[in-house]
Structure 1
Amino acid sequence: MIDVYSWPTPNGHKVHIMLEECGYRLGRDWFAHPIDIGAGDQFAKAFLKISPNNKIPALVDPHGPDGQPISVFESGAILLYLAAKTGKFLPKTTRGKYEVLQWLMFQMGGLGPMLGQNHHFRLYAPEKIEYAINRYTNEAKRLYGVLDTQLKDNSYMAGKTYSIADMAIYPWTRNWKNQGIEINDYPNFKRWFEMIGKRPAVIRGCEVLTALRKPLHDDKAREQLFGSTQYQRRK
């Protein structure tokens, strides 16, 4: 049984999706341990042992590459680990592999962080800062434009084949309305988004732990996520 320590966020969901796409089934082949990031579970010593950056998700596989248990943190690394373990959703050819990896890195280094800032300043910041809202809304629009252009002549993010790049990007774009995006302005992206959203494994993956998530209204949760607790040095 693979143990996944997670929460219903875009980074959590992309790992949930990958597990389900690989043929693993929640409750049979893998188990989702909730790490309530609004309650501060991410700072527990036991979790920090497998995720030293105090971020979800993290994975523990009792049957690692050498037959010994392995723990992996960072969602992109987990996708790559599962792709290597199962031989799925990452091309074997050098060219095909790097066509996928560049879009995975696009999500990890650009799309995720920028949309994360978009969410923060548009939805969660204690004060509305017009400069920040405009900056990250405009950057979101630019990034959606990049996606739309790539998908003009490609069925999937890296070409003709569904891959971990699609799984990484889709969960971050599910909240396009809250990001200040008009989806009809990006017809190629819209076609891809609706197609990916109909995949059974994607539907199952995006449902994992969602019943536990609460609206971010209380001050304690905001402190755990955005306050000084985040910046304490941990040993």
Structure 2
Amino acid sequence: MPVNNFPISILDRGHEPFATTFAAMRAYTDNRTADSADQLWIVEHDPVYTLGLAADTSHVLNANNIPVVQTDRGGEVTYHGPGQVVIYLLLDLKRQRRQGLVREFVQKIEQAVINTLSTYNLAGARKTGAPGIYMSDGAWAGAKIAALGLKVRASGCTYHGVSLNVAMDLTPFTTINPCGYADLTCVDMRSLGITATLPEVQMTLANQLQHLLS
């Protein structure tokens, strides 16, 4: 049962510019009340590099005309683009009785990604000190397949979220140090032999998040 009978709803916003989603997340959070719904926003973005609050801009080696946007999430630089699942988590952790338990919150998000990959017989794993999910075996062992970056306000309300690479042009990852790590290889599910469609993986991950966080 959802905590305090507040279910987490899933909203598919389709293909949307990052700036539009970013502004909408902040506005939704600014205007939250005790009755505002907790939501997961599914989005697919046009190509964009986003920077966390403490990001070192030198980790953008060559933007190649891809916009670089400063955000208020944690973490370093990452890339979003077509063929990638992006899910933003607009939750009230105080309502969920998890305020102050951000590590547990992050672990559940990571577990949702691991469970999603497992659905397609892929083995993902956490890496100590390096947020996100990495392939744990095979030729792509150590490659990053999912990124995580959050904003948790003092009120306990969250936004930003998680991305999972499904069927992308991976070239833009090669001109940054993903999440601040030089020479980190990124991979997508298609490169691992998975032919699942983006909408299918979007809903698989959203359902996993809804289940683990409710």
Q: TM-score, normalised by structure 2?
A: 0.27
* Bigger helix share: 1
Larger Rg: 1
- Larger proportion of strand: 2
